[in-house]
Amino acid sequence: MKALKALVVVMGILIVAGVGLVIYGVLTQFGPDVEEGETIAGPATAPGVAPPLDTPAPAAPGGGVVGAVPAEPIGDIMLDEPAATEITGATVGENRILLRLSGGGRPDRVVILRATDGERLGSITLGGADEADAPDTASGR
């Protein structure tokens, strides 16, 4: 009789473990399709742009990390952007932080910060030229 009770307990544990594995399999099979090097928000990198935040840095010979930034706090950084601006992506590489920004009544843009102190090094605005600024192809200007 003791052997039957032990068998029932072991089978109960196997059933619970099996159901857990089925649930895990369903969640991983039907979760978001994210490719290697891609974030859910979109492609992680463009040609010539550093890898995303969750990409491990390459190891340097003899230990350490190539291009590692010291893990010292840099304090609060205030970006000169409108209040409704949203950060839609971030990438770190070669001592730079690239922030993809959108909204705030301005065209989409990328802000480049120095990783060690948060200093704004520049920005790239994404969008076409205004009609007044566009060259007039009809008159040859």
Averaged pLDDT in 10-residue chunks for the chain of 141 residues: 93 95 85 55 49 53 51 75 87 86 88 86 76 47 45
Rounded CA-CA distance 51/66 in Å is: 14
The tokens describing 121, both together, are: 């090094």
Q: Give the three-state DSSP class for 25.
A: helix
What is the pairing mode between strands 120-125 and 106-114?
A: antiparallel
* pTM beyond 0.75: no
Sequence length of the chain is 141
Q: Give the three-state DSSP class for 26.
A: helix
The H-or-E segment that residue 17 falls in is helix 2-29
Residue 105's pLDDT is what? 87
Residue 81's pLDDT is what? 85
Rounded CA-CA distance 105/108 in Å is: 9
Question: Are 95 and 115 within 8 A, CB to CB?
Answer: yes
What are the extents of the domains in the chain? 1-31, 38-69+77-125
* Rounded CA Rg of the chain: 26
